[in-house]
Amino acid sequence: MKKNIWIPCLVFLLVFTILVSLTLGKFEISLSDIFDFLATAAGTGTLAKEKYELLANILLDIRMPRIIAAALIGSALSVSGAAFQSMFINPLVSPGLLGVLAGASFGAALGMIAFDSWFAVQSGAFICGFAAVLVAIGIARLYRGDRLLMLILGGIISGALFTSLLSIVKYVADPYDQLPAIVYWLMGGLSLADGKTVGLVALPIGAGIICLLFFSRHLNILSMGDDEAKSLGINVSRLRMLLIFLATLISTLTVVVGGLIGWVGLIIPHVARMLVGPDNRRLMPVAALIGAIYLIAVDDVARLIFTVEIPLGIVTSLMGIPFFILVLKNARKGWA
Amino acid sequence: MLLVADNVSFGFPDKPVLRDISLAVQKGEIISLLGPNGSGKTTLLKTLLGLYQLDKGQILFEGRSITSLRKKSLARNIAYVPQVHRASFAYRVIDVVLMGRIPHKTFFSRFSPADQEIALDALDKLSILHLQNKPYTQISGGERQLTLIARAMTQEAHTFIMDEPANGLDYGNQIKLLEGLMDLGGEGYTFVKSTHFPDHALWIADRVIMLKEGSIIADGAPDDVITSDNLFALYGREVNVHSLRENFKVCIPKKLGNGKRSTVGRSFNSISNGYPLTLDSSPYTSQRRGEIL
């Protein structure tokens, strides 16, 4: 089948993108330097000790964590976006549907003004991201009715609530010091993605993505509607809560590492759907790979195109909008 | 008893949808559910599948409450063929049909060639094998209906709950579908299906249940239940039920069955020729005739 060659192709492209991205930066490192470095690390290379340590510092401590962060965030947003699109039977849904991104933004901002510690910012983002989704689910449970519709409305309310709370935090923040920090944070960026942070979140994000990939077949069934899924023996409410938990976990962790990075979770699933069709068994892994490649590449642009780094979220939005207009062309073909 | 609804009520406090419904489905029966739009047919079918939390009463499958059964094992016994719906994602037809294998799979087991074979068989039986690689969004409503039936067959359940299965099928496919149900009914399959066509019930059903405003107003053999009086009570239109021969009845709407077109044609001719018609002079004398003039 022609569609099956995409995954090996994309894996190759991902490795290539990572290697190229390792060479890019203020300090010039060529591809052959990287291979020399790898050979030396393996014990067969000829690199001088100082050069080796310098390369180790730049490659392993500075560039690699950032590349891994970009790959994980790109994958996580794409996979949770694709999962939400199937789960809510709507190709225009993005990972922030249930308010997770608004909640995480509020939590991060609150951490900045209340505790002024990096750890507080991260844990604030994590906790409030989950809190916002719980609020959405709680509101949806208040009334009987179409579960999906109630969840979407609950998400809109929860998102609005946490956006308002964020405004309060911005209003009371010190305008010379804290407010700019909050604003920059919300523009998204990976300049703070150091080895320690990435090491902390890599496992849960990676595990969350892989778990979601295992649910691909169930996502197909959920996208046929609740009643049909139930009649096929699926415990719909339990499955949906589990999937929402996984998607919330990985999306909120993307905010913990890189702030708000928009559009990736909406667009990448569409690109993947254009390449391999809507079947989640192929769509999900392809979306994960494309998301990783895309965000690594965009982050390269963000850090290199001008002398000053531009926030990643701005670049993803600017690139996302024209792209989305192109994607809309396919809308009438039943999101093939 | 295969499937029993025991005094079931369901709905909103101010708007009950089902009121005190009791019925029992026997193995091998083909049951047609008749009722006007909004009478609760779809809701009743869905409660039989255990999709709703009931306000009152319970559904029993083989004597056990449906809520106590594992959903997966229930899905291996009862399949649901919903009304044709608009699909959002362009899955291939074969992938939609394969979803019917899910109740037979554990979480990590993948679809095997055997599963594929069962799905293809179902498509073949319904003569839509050629659609297998077509996107589900780009086939006609009738073909989509057949795809959903193929999925139910792939589920290997022996009880089918079907919501207006003939809806959206062309005349030939309607007949083919009913023939198919008749054959499967002979093999021990059980069908509970809703329909808008009393004739379909007369053709293949063993039993007809009439539902009006959430209550059962008649339940019995088609010949006994499908009567002019009952159809009027159900739909508010006058319908004559004629016996063509023994054990075969047809429904003919009274007004439409009176030879509408010829009457209308004559009237127009008469008027244009300038001969005013009196009611007595026509061989088609009827009250209806007077209305037209």
Contact yes or no for A98/A83 (Cβ under 8 A): no
Say whether both B32 and B113 belong to one domain.
yes
Among B80, B89, B138, whose Cβ lies nearest the Cβ of A223? B89
CATH number, position A209:
1.10.3470.10
Say whether both B130 and B12 belong to one domain.
yes
**CB spacing of B74 vs A277 below 8 angstroms:** no
Q: Rounded to an integer, what distance in angstroms lies between the CA atom of residue A154 and that of residue A99?
A: 9
Say whether both B75 and B205 belong to one domain.
yes
Contact yes or no for B252/B240 (Cβ under 8 A): yes
CATH number, position B94:
3.40.50.300
Q: Rounded to an integer, what distance in angstroms lies between the CA atom of residue B285 and that of residue B268?
A: 16
Nearest partner of A81 among A281, A252, A287, A225, judged by Cα:
A287
Contact yes or no for A137/A153 (Cβ under 8 A): no
Relative to beta strand B64-65, strand B56-61 is: antiparallel
- Distance from the Cα of B128 to chain A's closest Cα (Å) equals 20
What is the value of pTM for the model shown? 0.89
Relative to beta strand B78-81, strand B159-162 is: parallel
Say whether both B70 and B138 belong to one domain.
yes
Nearest partner of A261 among A126, A132, A75, A32, judged by Cα:
A75
Please write the tens of the pLDDT for every residue from B117-154: 999 999 998 889 999 999 988 888 888 988 999 999 99
Please write the tens of the pLDDT for every residue from A113-145: 998 788 999 999 999 999 999 999 999 999 888
Parent domain of B271:
258-292
Among A228, A233, A279, whose Cβ lies nearest the Cβ of B72? A233
Say whether both B58 and B185 belong to one domain.
yes
Among A220, A235, A279, whose Cβ lies nearest the Cβ of B71? A235
State residue A95's pLDDT score: 94
How many independent structural domains does chain A possess? Answer: 1
Test the B interface: residue of A2, A147, A216, A224 with most B CBs within 10 Å: A224
Say whether both B267 and B228 belong to one domain.
no
Q: What is the mean pLDDT of chain B?
A: 86
Please write the tens of the pLDDT for every residue from B88-114: 788 999 999 999 999 999 888 889 999
Helix (H) and strand (E) counts in chain A:
15, 0
Contacts of A227 in chain B (CB under 8 A): 46, 49, 51, 80, 82
Say whether both B287 and B209 belong to one domain.
no
Please write the tens of the pLDDT for every residue from B151-207: 999 999 999 999 999 887 889 888 888 888 888 888 889 999 999 999 999 999 999
Structure-model confidence comparison of residues B275 and A2, the more confident one: A2
Among A220, A225, A228, whose Cβ lies nearest the Cβ of B91? A220
Write out residues in chain A with pLDDT < 70, as ranges.
1-3, 330-336
Please write the tens of the pLDDT for every residue from B201-228: 999 999 999 999 999 999 999 999 999 9
How many independent structural domains does chain B possess? Answer: 2
Say whether both B268 and B250 belong to one domain.
no
Contacts of A86 in chain B (CB under 8 A): 89
Residues 20-79 of chain A with CB under 8 A from chain B are: none
Say whether both B249 and B116 belong to one domain.
yes
Parent domain of A326:
2-333
| Percent of all residues in chain B with a pLDDT value above 70, rounded to a whole number | 88
Structure-model confidence comparison of residues B290 and B103, the more confident one: B103
Say whether both B281 and B173 belong to one domain.
no
State residue A335's pLDDT score: 47
Test the A interface: residue of B61, B88, B151 with most A CBs within 10 Å: B88
Mean pLDDT of B242-259: 86
Say whether both B12 and B60 belong to one domain.
yes
Say whether both B266 and B249 belong to one domain.
no
The answer to which of A101-105, A221-225, B70-74, B246-250 has the lowest mean pLDDT is B246-250
